């Protein structure tokens, strides 16, 4: 049971990391679009 919990935790952490990375990319992309538009 402990191994299963560890695997689930790892999967959840990876999923959270992916969504954070995606958000950062969107924020950076939006900021670059705004600064180059001026």
Mean pLDDT computed over 4-32: 96
The count of domains in the chain is 1
Residue 37 has pLDDT above 80, yes or no: no
pLDDT of residue 38: 63
- 27: which 2 tokens? 């924020």
Q: Which domain holds residue 3?
A: 1-38
Mean pLDDT of 20-38: 90
Residue in this structure with the two tokens 């954070």, named with its chain if needed: 20
State the average pLDDT for the chain: 93
**pLDDT at residue 26 greater than cutoff 90:** yes
Residue matched to tokens 């935790």: 9
Virtual torsion, Cα 20, 22, 28, 32, nearest 10 deg: -170
Alpha helices in 1-38, H assignment, sequence order: 2-37
Q: What's the average model confidence in pLDDT over 2-29?
A: 96
Instruction: Give pLDDT tens digits for 13-25.
Output: 999 999 999 999 9
């Amino acid at each position: 049971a402990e191994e299963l919990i560890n695997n689930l935790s790892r999967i959840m952490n990876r999923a959270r990391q992916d969504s954070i990375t995606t958000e950062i990319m969107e924020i950076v992309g939006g900021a670059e679009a705004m600064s180059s538009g001026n």
